[in-house]
Structure 1
Amino acid sequence: MKKYLLLPLLFLTSWVLGQSLDGSWKLVSQNGNAVTNQEYIKIYQDDYFAFGVKNVADNTFIGAGGGPYKFEGDKYSETLDFFTLNPLQIGTTTPFKIELDGKKLVLSANTNNGMLVEIWERVSDAKDDLTGNWVITGRKRDDQISRSTPGARRTVKILSGGRFQWIAFNSETKEFSGTGGGTYSAVNGKYIENITFFSRDNSRVGASLGFDFQVIDGEWHHSGLSSTGAPIYEIWTPYAIGYKPAK
């Protein structure tokens, strides 16, 4: 009998350990209070996370944060590469207790401000040709491609679960240059962004931008017109390959 009892336990353990955070999530509760006046969207992909927060009523940008994370069993930790709400925490790592059950994610931790308990609900775990965490490494101007090697100062763009967020920051100086995000689609070489928050100009919320894209040798070639109407051609490299941290 004991042998048979072990089988479902082993199956349950392997199912819990096999769950992934990849995709997009929405914060629904913080310390027992429902989150309704603000919208928190968090994206996980390729061992990296990013979130953006805005006021629901007027789309005013509130803040953003993100960086690498580790998730093993019931242990989870976040290291901040950028964090507008408290730049002094950039570079720090916070351990959390994690409970993940399908579409529900509970994170709890002891912080300087006391116990923090967050409940997130999965928005989507959909994937497409551009799902990934990317860092910009090249631009084309007048048919000439210029390349750069991202270091402490870098621009990252994370896409997963039908959501995107870009962030420009310097993790060494803790300088934050801007962020924006929303929903997107990437089908048949056409990439469309629908902006739901933008730190530099919340009047851009609601705008949709269309671009052409190709994935060439594992890199994302992105072309079209920027939010200001200027022509752009960008090359994005998978973050794990393109980003070169200081040693």
Structure 2
Amino acid sequence: MKYSKPRFIGYFIVFLLFTVALQAQIPSGIYVSDTGNERHELKIDGDYMIYNIYKTSPATFIKTVGGFFTTDSDVLKVTLEFNSDYEKDQLKQLEIPFTIDNELLTLNDEPSLVFLKLESLQQDLDGQWLFATRGPDTGQERRGEENPRKTLKFLMDGHFQWIAYHTETMRFSGTGGGSYTAENGVYTENIEFFSRDNSRVGASLNFNYEIKGNDWHHTGKNSKGEPMYEIWAKRN
């Protein structure tokens, strides 16, 4: 069958729109699936995702993976930046079949898991941040996107997570996360999982914050009670 040129162009435009739609099937947000006392948590921000598994009682960290992704029809394809189990499984890529229906996301892996999208709760510090340097910022060398050694903070809808990793060697150094609030210059973390020390779960940490351009100035005291000043740069 032959199509006239205008009709062909029309079909081509529809095809392009359909292709774009495939790439945006999973809306940004926090998705959770609870099976008994085990929580599966999926964080989506544009084309970046983090997948966590941990137990709530007793508090036990199990796994985290994360990286940039695309969707091809009904398959989620992830190029991993970090994998806490890399030494065991050597995985740098994931392909997971999925379906999505309104607020429910199903990962058709083994076993299949149904995730519920949590309510959006935007705050000052929402976004992806990479550790840049110790403060104050007086011209010292900063760690940037090109540096394979990274510490990422991912904040969205009242949930936070930090991950320390190396993109070239896939060396995983640790992670922790939970809920957070950021208002009136006070940033509070409530720890719900921590790979280095499960006994830290339940702790709340308070800090001061200030946004300067694309930088987050993070000050207060560390877990040892010592003064701390960190500068985090917004990831583009």
Shorter-chain TM-score bucket reads 0.7 to 0.9
**Aligned position for 2:32:** 26
Contact 2:42–2:52 (8 Å) recurs in 1: yes
Q: Is the aligned partner of 1:232 residue 2:228?
A: yes
Question: 1:67-103 deviations in whole A, cap 9, x for unaligned?
Answer: 11224764532121111234444432x3333322232
Question: 1:47-78 deviations in whole A, cap 9, x for unaligned?
Answer: 22223322222112112111112247645321
Q: For residues 1-247 of structure 1, what are the structure 2 equivalents within 5 Å?
A: 20-28=26-34, 35-71=35-71, 74-87=74-87, 88-92=89-93, 94-108=94-108, 115=110, 117-140=112-135, 144=138, 146=140, 147-150=142-145, 151-240=147-236
Residue identity opposite 2:217 in structure 1: H
Bigger Cα Rg? 2
Residue identity opposite 1:128 in structure 2: Q
SS of corresponding position for 1:60: strand
In structure 2, C-alpha distance between the alignment counterparts of 1:59 and 1:145, rounded to whole Å: 41
Identity of aligned residues (%): 37
SS of corresponding position for 2:122: coil
Provide closer, same or farther for how the CA distance between residues 74 and 62 of structure 1 changes in structure 2, counting only shifts above 3 A.
closer
Count residues in correspondence: 213
In structure 1, C-alpha distance between the alignment counterparts of 2:40 and 2:164, rounded to whole Å: 19
Q: TM-score, normalised by structure 1?
A: 0.76
Unaligned runs of 5+ in 1: 1-12, 29-34, 110-114, 241-247
Contact 1:50–1:165 (8 Å) recurs in 2: no
Provide closer, same or farther for how the CA distance between residues 24 and 218 of structure 1 changes in structure 2, counting only shifts above 3 A.
same
Residue identity opposite 1:91 in structure 2: K
Question: 1:165-221 deviations in whole A, cap 9, x for unaligned?
Answer: 100011211211110000001112111100011111111111111111111112211
SS of corresponding position for 2:33: strand
Unaligned runs of 5+ in 2: 1-17
SS of corresponding position for 2:59: coil
In structure 2, C-alpha distance between the alignment counterparts of 1:63 and 1:140, rounded to whole Å: 31
In structure 2, C-alpha distance between the alignment counterparts of 1:20 and 1:190, rounded to whole Å: 32
Question: 1:148-171 deviations in whole A, cap 9, x for unaligned?
Answer: 235211100101121111000112
Question: 1:26-45 deviations in whole A, cap 9, x for unaligned?
Answer: 124xxxxxx21312222222
Residue identity opposite 1:131 in structure 2: D
Provide closer, same or farther for how the CA distance between residues 191 and 20 of structure 1 changes in structure 2, counting only shifts above 3 A.
farther
Question: 1:107-135 deviations in whole A, cap 9, x for unaligned?
Answer: 235xxxxx553321112322221111111
RMSD (Å), alpha carbons: 2.4
In structure 2, C-alpha distance between the alignment counterparts of 1:237 and 1:162, rounded to whole Å: 19
Provide closer, same or farther for how the CA distance between residues 145 and 182 of structure 1 changes in structure 2, counting only shifts above 3 A.
farther
Q: TM-score, normalised by structure 2?
A: 0.80
Contact 1:66–1:81 (8 Å) recurs in 2: yes
